[in-house]
Amino acid sequence: MWPFPARRFSTGWNDAGDSMLVQQNGISFTIGRSRFTDGIVGSQEQSAKIFVRIEPESLGGVIFAQLDTGAAWSILDSQVAEELSLLNGQGEPTTISTRLGGFSGRLERTRISIVADEGESLNVEATVWVSPDWPGHSFLGYGGLLERIRFAVDPSDNTFYFGPV
C-alpha cells in the first residue's frame, strides 16, 4: 500500500485567470507555467529532454536550461557564468562527476528567474555550480534550486508548471 496520503490536484484558475494547478483544498500548487521544448537543434542531447527558459540575473536575455532532478546542483554554461562574473567568485570549491567527466568548479550564489508564459515568474536565490572548464549547457538541478520549488510537467502540451514551496 502506498504509505503516503494521496494528494489530488486539478487544473484551476488563479486570480489572474490563468490556468494553473490547484490542490483540492483550492490552494494553488503552482503559480506560473511556461512552455518547454523537449529538443533543441544543436544540443548534444540526442534523446528528448526538458528545456525550460530561465533568465539569469543581469544577463539581459533568456536562455535554455535542462531540467534535471537527478543533478545534485544546477550548472550554468561557462560563458553565461563568465558574463555573470561568477567564474572569479570566492564560492566553495567543489568537484562534480558527470557523464562528460569530472570537473572542478565552485558553488556560487546567484539569482535566476524561471520565467512564466502565464501566471507569475519565480526569482530564485539559488546555488549554482560554475566552472570555466564546463563544456555543457545549463542545467536546473535539485540541490540549491529545485528543492524549494513545486513543479509539474504535462508532456501532452509541453507545459512546465511551477510555484514556490
For another protein, the binding residues (CB under 8 A) are: 31, 34-35, 37, 40-44, 53, 55, 59-64, 72, 77, 79-80, 82-83, 90-92, 94-95, 107-109, 113, 115-127, 137, 143-145, 147-149, 164-165
Contacts of 135 (CB under 8 A, 6+ apart): 78, 100
Q: Which is nearer to another protein, 12 or 136 (CB)?
A: 136
Contacts of 62 (CB under 8 A, 6+ apart): 53, 54, 55, 115
Closest approach of another protein to the CB of residue 58, in Å: 11
Alpha carbons 99 and 121: distance in angstroms, whole number: 31
Alpha carbons 47 and 150: distance in angstroms, whole number: 25
Q: Which is nearer to another protein, 22 or 137 (CB)?
A: 137
Q: Which is nearer to another protein, 50 or 137 (CB)?
A: 137
Closest approach of another protein to the CB of residue 116, in Å: 5
The kind and range of the H/E element at 150 are: strand 149-154
Burial class (CB in 10 A: 0-12, 13-18, 19+), 49: middle
Q: Which is nearer to another protein, 19 or 94 (CB)?
A: 94
Closest approach of another protein to the CB of residue 41, in Å: 3
Closest approach of another protein to the CB of residue 82, in Å: 7
